[in-house]
Structure 1
Amino acid sequence: MAIWEWALEAYARPGVPEACLKLQDEHGQNVSLLLWAVHAETKDSALLSRAAEAARAWDQAALVPLRQVRRTLKAPLPPVDDDARLSFREDVKAVELAAERLLLETLEGLTRRQSGAHALDALMAASAAWGTPAPADALAQLAAALG
């Protein structure tokens, strides 16, 4: 299954959105990198390092700025019409999702073979490759939600 379809299915599972947002907002993790590592079943440090570099660059160039704009547009911004603001916010959200999809597909292009790492092992390795590792319990929560 292609990574985007897999990620959409995974994100629809109970507990996955909450675990992902916690890892992103409270622990500074890149959710796309984490999900890709689970999908790729990898804990290969060299591969994860290359993937983390790519994710960091894309985060800085596209995802973080888009996320900031989307979140800023959540609150009223007088004199901008609320309906127009919310409609524009949805447009930004769609572009943000397209940027996440592009990152996931880019990461998928780094490897086509799965090495068989269990979800928690892949999450722990990806989190460490990203930088300061997220707490093991937060990663375990996502691994459990992913099944």
Structure 2
Amino acid sequence: MQTDLWNYCLNLYARPGVEPACLRLQDQGLDVCLLLCAAWLLQRGIACTEARMAQLKDCAEPWQREVVQPLRQLRTQWREAAAHDESLAVMRSQIKALELEAERTLLRRLEEATQQWSPAQSQDNCDWLGKMAAGIDHPDRGALHTLRAAISPA
């Protein structure tokens, strides 16, 4: 069953172990939206190439840097103070909603960037998750394994 990237991500993220795995990889510097998109592409049998990887990163990096990360940073900075200030807690909740909407927008952009990509003719479509994680030193292999295990067959 074909599903859009946003709904695929919601379903995958809700599976046991996926959220903590994604957060561990995010703490290591990986973009969770790119990882979830990679899982979606892998599940759909889309072949990965260096050009496609670069296209996805070129789409995601500016949005992450200029929109998502500043919202996340502000939300995180307010965590302690919001526990003791109801008004700040409300604003922190609004920032969290904006951060989620920014991630949804990024996922929509990533999906649009991949619309013309057809499934691979062979089963040798490459390890999208491994390629996404290759940009950091010593990615959490357990977290990557959890993501791979959670991806349902096409």
- For Structure 1 versus Structure 2, the TM-score category normalised by the shorter chain is 0.7 to 0.9
The TM-score, its normalising length taken from structure 1, stands at 0.85
Once the two structures are TM-superposed, the CA of residue 141 in structure 1 deviates from its matched residue by 2.3
- Structure number having the greater helix percentage: 1
The TM-score, its normalising length taken from structure 2, stands at 0.81
Q: Specify the code of the residue in structure 2 equivalent to 1:124.
A: G
For 1:110, the equivalent position in structure 2 comes to: 113
How many percent of aligned residue pairs carry the same amino acid?
36
Distance in 2 of aligned mates of 1:137 and 1:114: 30
1:9 aligns with 2:15: no
Show CA shifts across 1:95-115 (max 9, x none).
000010111110111112353
Judge which range, 53-62 or 97-106, deviates more.
53-62
Q: What is the aligned length?
A: 142
Distance in 2 of aligned mates of 1:47 and 1:32: 15
CA 1:65–1:100 in 2, change beyond 3 Å: closer, same or farther? same
For 2:133, the equivalent position in structure 1 comes to: 127
Show CA shifts across 1:8-44 (max 9, x none).
111111101000000001x210010011111122422
Q: Specify the code of the residue in structure 2 equivalent to 1:96.
A: E
Contact 2:39 2:129 (8 Å CA) reproduced: yes
Q: Specify the code of the residue in structure 2 equivalent to 1:144.
A: A
Distance in 1 of aligned mates of 2:132 and 2:118: 15
Q: Specify the code of the residue in structure 1 equivalent to 2:142.
A: D
CA 1:29–1:119 in 2, change beyond 3 Å: closer, same or farther? farther
Once the two structures are TM-superposed, the CA of residue 120 in structure 1 deviates from its matched residue by 8.5
For 2:49, the equivalent position in structure 1 comes to: 44
Once the two structures are TM-superposed, the CA of residue 118 in structure 1 deviates from its matched residue by 8.6
Contact 2:78 2:88 (8 Å CA) reproduced: yes
Judge which range, 95-104 or 131-140, deviates more.
131-140
1:66 aligns with 2:67: no
Structure 2 unaligned residues grouped into runs of 5+: none
Structure 1 unaligned residues grouped into runs of 5+: none
Contact 2:63 2:106 (8 Å CA) reproduced: yes
